[in-house]
């Protein structure tokens, strides 16, 4: 006796539906697992990453204030620069500010600032002189811009355009050769990244120029303040 099995109408469709549901749940479970694993790794490494950034910042402070050659000469001669970290809240942001002193006199300031770039957040170190009138240096602490294009914001020749710019000027990235006092030549093919750097510098200096200038003035001796008035 032969037994035959007949499929009920729609049974094949139901099998395919169940198959896709199982696959969808599998994908979701795997995504959740790997997402949790990545988050765990990030939490574990985050303190170490921040510690490395802090060490790199402290190493860069003399160069961003004095310039590479002067910082190297100062180090070779054994002259030490005292660096103190403090936090300043201005606008809607809280900034890490590094005050550099030589011979108990303010030599300059370095501001850690960040903002959105083309691909991800860009972190900068902006150096200014003791009176907060002039930009003395710019360093890209962290970026994830497009390789070969946006990541050229890290190149010293491009960053050097910011040195000696007055802090009160609004810096603008232009596609042509920089001509005006507040113009920065944008990187070819990476105008958005170039503009992002200018925006970060503009915002941080606009927020901190007066508070830093006041802090520098408060540090001066009474006799120095009197000489300035005279």
Task: Kindly tell me the sign of the dihedral angle through the C-alpha atoms of 97, 224, 75, 128.
Answer: positive
Q: What dihedral do alpha carbons 157, 137, 61, 155 form, nearest 10°?
A: -20
Q: Is residue 78 part of a domain?
A: yes
Give me the phi and psi of 71, to 5 degrees please.
-65, -40
Q: Is residue 23 part of a domain?
A: no
pLDDT tens per residue across span 196-219: 999 999 999 999 999 998 887 776
Identify the burial level of 91 via C-beta atoms within 10 angstroms of its C-beta, where 0-12 means exposed, 13-18 middle and 19 or more buried.
exposed
By residue range, what is the domain housing residue 175? 50-219
Instruction: Output the pLDDT for position 197.
Output: 98
Given this model, what pLDDT does residue 216 score?
Answer: 79
Helix, coil or strand: residue 85: strand
Q: Give me the mean pLDDT over the 119-133 stretch.
A: 96
Q: Average pLDDT for residues 64-69, to the nearest whole number? A: 94
120 and 142 Cβ atoms separated by less than 8 Å: no
Identify the bridge partners of residue 89 per DSSP, sorted by sequence position: 94
Q: Which of 190, 201, 67 is nearest to 125 (CA)?
A: 201
Domain membership flag for residue 27: no
Instruction: Round to whole Å and give the CA distance between 162 and 101.
Output: 23
Residue 33 lies in a domain: no
Tens of pLDDT, residues 104-121 = 899 999 999 999 999 999
Mean per-residue pLDDT, 128-150: 96
Q: Is 223 exposed, middle or buried (0-12, 13-18, 19+ CB in 10 A)?
A: exposed
Asked if the structure places residue 225 within a domain, the reply is no
In a domain, 224, yes or no: no
Considering only CA atoms, which of 145, 149, 138, 150 is closest in space to residue 113? 138
Domain count along the chain: 1
* 8 A C-beta contact, residue 99 and residue 107: no
């Amino acid at each position: 006796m032969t037994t035959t099995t007949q499929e009920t109408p729609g049974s094949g469709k139901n099998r395919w539906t169940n198959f896709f549901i199982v696959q969808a749940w599998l994908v979701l479970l795997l995504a959740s697992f790997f997402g949790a694993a990545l988050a765990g790794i990030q939490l574990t490494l985050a303190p170490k990453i921040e510690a490395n950034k802090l060490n790199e910042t402290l190493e860069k402070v003399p160069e961003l204030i004095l310039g590479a050659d002067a910082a190297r000469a100062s180090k070779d001669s054994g002259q030490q620069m005292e660096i103190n970290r403090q936090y300043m809240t201005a606008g809607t942001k809280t900034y890490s500010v590094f005050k550099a002193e030589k011979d108990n006199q303010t030599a300059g300031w370095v501001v850690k600032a960040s903002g959105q770039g083309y691909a991800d957040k860009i972190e900068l170190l902006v150096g200014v002189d003791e009176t907060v009138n002039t930009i003395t240096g710019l360093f890209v602490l962290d970026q994830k811009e497009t390789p070969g294009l946006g990541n050229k914001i890290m190149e010293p020749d491009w960053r050097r355009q910011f040195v000696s710019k007055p802090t009160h000027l609004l810096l603008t990235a232009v596609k042509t050769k920089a001509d005006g006092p507040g113009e920065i030549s944008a990187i070819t093919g990476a105008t958005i990244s170039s503009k992002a750097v200018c925006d970060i510098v503009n915002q941080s200096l606009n927020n901190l120029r007066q508070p830093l200038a006041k802090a520098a003035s408060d540090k001066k001796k009474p006799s120095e303040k009197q000489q300035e008035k005279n």
